[in-house]
Amino acid sequence: MSKWIAFLLASCALAQDPRQIIEEVQRRNRSQSQRYEGTLTVTSAKSRVAEKKWRYERIGSFGDSKAVLRFLDPPEVKGVALLVHNHRDRSSDQWMWTPELQRDRRIALQDRSTRFFGTDFSFEDLEERDVDQFDFKLLGEEKFDGQMCWKLESRPRQNKRSQYTHSYLWVRKDLFVFLAVEGYKDKELMRRIAYRDYENVKGLWTAKTMEVFDTKRKSRTTMKLEKLEYNIPVKEDEFTLQALRRPQ
C-alpha cells in the first residue's frame, strides 16, 4: 500500500471519530510553554468601548498545565491576576489576586459562569478544554467563515462542572483548528467565541484574534495577541499563589 493511500485511509477513519478529531487538534497545538500579551477591546450593548491589556503565561499542556493571566493596563486594573491549575480528571483550580485589597480568593465552582473582571470571558472560558472531560458527537460537515469544517457537539462528563449543558464546535478540516465555539445552557445560546487571523508560529497555527460575544449582555470582547512565543524557558515556581502575590 502506498503512503498516499495509507494517508487517505487514515484521514477517512479520523473523520468518522469526533474524539480523534479533537485529539488531533490538541496534538497539533501542543507546546510546553506559551507567552503573549493580549489587547482587549470590550464593547457594551450601548456601544461603550473600554480597552484592557493582559499578559498570559502557561507551562505544560492540555489537562496538565498551569497558567497566569495578569492585567497590565489601564492603571485601575493593573496587577489584577488569575492563576489557573488545569487537571485531566476534574475542573480547574482558580485563584484571583487583587493588589488593591492585597488579597487572593479562590474562585468557587458555582462562580465560574460569571464574567472575568469586566470582559466577556467567563472564568470557565479561561480553562483548557481537555478532550478527556467531554463526550463528542460528529454532527456533519459545513462551511464556516468560508472554510470547510467539521461541526461537533461536546457535552461535559460527570466529573466536569460546567455552566454549559453542551457546546457546538467548528473545526477547520485542513488545519485542525477551532473557528468557533458556541456554549449553550439547554436551548439558550450563552456565549459565542470566534477565532480568526490564524498564523503559523513556530509550526503551531494560532488565532491572533478572538472575539467573545455574550448573548445576555449583548456585549463583546475582541482580543488581539501580540508578542506571542512558544516553548520558551518558564519557571514552575511562577505558577504559585506566592508568585501571584509578588509586586510586579
Q: How far is residue 75's CA from residue 40's CA, in Å, rounded to a whole number?
A: 15
Domain count, the chain: 1
Mean pLDDT of the 17-41 span: 95
Q: Is residue 170 scored above 50 in pLDDT?
A: yes
* Whether the Cβ atoms of residue 199 and residue 224 lie closer than 8 Å to each other: no
| pLDDT of 14 | 54
pTM, two decimal places:
0.89
Can you spell out the DSSP letters for 38-68?
EEEEEE-TT--EEEEEEEEEEEEETTEEEEE
User: What CATH number does the domain containing 93 carry?
Assistant: 2.50.20.10
Q: How far is residue 39's CA from residue 53's CA, in Å, rounded to a whole number?
A: 5
* pLDDT tens digits, 85-144: 999 888 899 999 999 889 999 999 999 999 998 899 999 999 887 888 899 999 999 999
Q: Give the structural domain span for 106.
A: 3-245
